[in-house]
Amino acid sequence: MTAADIRVAILDILHDIAPDEDLSGLKEDVPFREQLELDSMDFLDIVMELRKRYRVQIPENEYTELASMGSTVRYLEPRMKDIAK
């Protein structure tokens, strides 16, 4: 997957978790929690969806890498490069 594909995948997961949120103006390097009404369970849902949909294992001590769209894409890009869309 490319960085653009990963962004689309993350937006899709965020839409499923928080369907009432407007994701159109999501800023690249501002933490999701500052832009969206996500609690810790929602954040865990993101991690679980990545595991379920793409078989990406994210160690708990690396969850902070998924704080914003930019950091999430940078973290996932090398781990998802061989995954088909």
Radius of gyration of the chain (CA): 12
User: pLDDT for 33-68, tens place per residue?
Assistant: 999 988 889 999 999 999 999 999 999 999 999 999
Query: Residues 77, 10: contact at Cβ < 8 Å?
Result: no
Which domains, and CATH codes, for the chain?
3-80 (1.10.1200.10)
Residue 84 has pLDDT above 80, yes or no: no
* Ranges assigned E (strand) in the chain: none
Q: With H, G, I as helix, E, B as strand and everything else as coil, classify residue 21.
A: coil
| Its pTM surpasses 0.75 | yes
